Amino acid sequence: MVSAFKLIAPVPRLSLSYHSDSNEHYRSFEAHTVRISGVIFLPLIFTLSIEKKNIQNMAAAASSSSTASPKTTTERRGIHGAQFVEDVEIYLSQTGLDVNSALAFLQERLQQYKLVEMKLLAQQRDLQPKIPDIEKCLDVVATLQAKKGTGEALITDFEVSEGIYSRARIEDNDSVCLWLGANVMLEYSCEEATSLLNKNLENAKASLEVLITDLQFLRDQVTITQVTIARVYNWDVHQRRIRQTSTSSTAKDS
Amino acid sequence: MQQGTGASETEVTWEDQQNINKFGRLNNRFHELEDEIKFAKEAIDNLEDASNELILTDEEVVRFQIGEVFAHVPKEEVETRIEEMKEVSSNNLEKLEEEKESVVAQMAELKKVLYGKFKDSINLEED
């Protein structure tokens, strides 16, 4: 009697499931609050005088540096790197956008990041249970190999259907069948099966690692973008306030 | 309307951004670790219950789950196996607890730095 065990090949599948892990919402009253996965980042208020000094320094620095974007993390596997903004005013003049279109652009970027994050999370969710599955298969093959030496049959109860189990008697044997997916099952010797399962386990763990690093990178970009949005918005609020006070003071004077 | 806190030095440098990113990452890792610790504790509890049941039972052959099937295994072997699994699980739990402590310490460090720089302009507390 040949024993059959299910092996699920770790093929990451793409499925878009709108399951939002990070709770994020923007409350747009005067202060623009940004949530970074459980961390609330309140607006940074700049003072004009300090900013002016910084602008002069930044301008000097920017002219000396050749690249237009000082701190950009390069693209990684299709995910755009978020450009870190040293100074809001310089950023706005560089891109030539006014505040609203800059905000719109950044918001759009954020949405793209969200989409990619959901994709990656779904992939991770698919991949994660595969690893214990493969380990279970390895366990079974190891048990069979151990029993091979003793010469006695292995009696097991296996599930025929939900709640219904049947008894099976597994005699001494040298081979196992592995389910490779796509309705394909191949017979392997115990050693080959062990090595194949180990290889698959390695691959699964490696892809999970890569996935996790991608997710971390993505979350960093999301954080940078959120911070930039908050700063641009608050810079705008600040500018408006300055303008208001200047117009009201000129109105008072006249 | 939010009043600005006077002359507050609130320029965000690349270093600050990196600190904020790192804090976000640590926060995520912290929550993941909490979940993993919960699972590990549950696993250990289950193994405890299983070994208790084993002591109580008077059957000689126990159906021990290997993979998807339940193999008929003599009681002593099951005891040994459960002991091993308990070892592994408690080591795992220890490692996770250690990592959690280091993450908490790092987060506290970063909180100090970021609050020092941004004071009221940043909030790093949980919701």
Q: What is the pLDDT of residues B12-32, one digit of tens each?
A: 888 888 999 999 999 999 999
Please state the φ and ψ torsions of residue A32, each to the nearest 5 degrees.
Answer: -100, 110
Long-range contacts formed by A60-69: CB under 8 A, 24+ apart: A62/A90, A68/A94, A69/A94
Of A42, A137, A168, the CB nearest to B121: A42
Distance from CA of B124 to the nearest CA of A (A): 5
Residue A90 has a pLDDT of 82
Q: Give the chain B residue nearest A47 (alpha carbons).
A: B7
pLDDT digits (tens, 9 = 90+) for B70-96: 888 888 889 999 999 999 999 999 999
Q: Give the chain A residue nearest B13 (alpha carbons).
A: A86
Residue B10 has a pLDDT of 66
Residue A10 has a pLDDT of 38
Asked if the C-beta of A28 comes within 8 angstroms of chain B's C-beta atoms, the answer is no
Asked if the C-beta of A31 comes within 8 angstroms of chain B's C-beta atoms, the answer is yes
What are the per-10-residue average pLDDT scores of chain A (254 residues)?
37 33 34 40 36 40 38 66 81 83 91 93 92 90 82 85 90 84 90 92 94 92 91 88 88 70
Query: CA A24, A29, A30 angle in degrees (round to 5)?
Result: 120
Q: How far apart are CA B96 and CA A187, in angstroms?
A: 39
Pairing relationship of beta strands B69-74 and B61-66 according to DSSP bridges: antiparallel
Q: Which secondary structure element, helix H or strand E, spans residue A179, and what is its range? A: strand A175-181
| B5·A45 Cβ contact <8 A | yes
| B71·A227 Cβ contact <8 A | no
Residue that wins the pLDDT comparison between B88 and B7: B88
Asked if the C-beta of B31 comes within 8 angstroms of chain A's C-beta atoms, the answer is yes
A221-245 per-residue burial string, b: 16 or more CB within 10 A, e: under 16: bbbbbbbbbbbbbbbbbbeebeeee
Domains of chain A (ranges, CATH numbers): 39-148+174-239 (1.10.287.370)
Q: Give the chain A residue nearest B120 (alpha carbons).
A: A42
Residue A251 has a pLDDT of 78
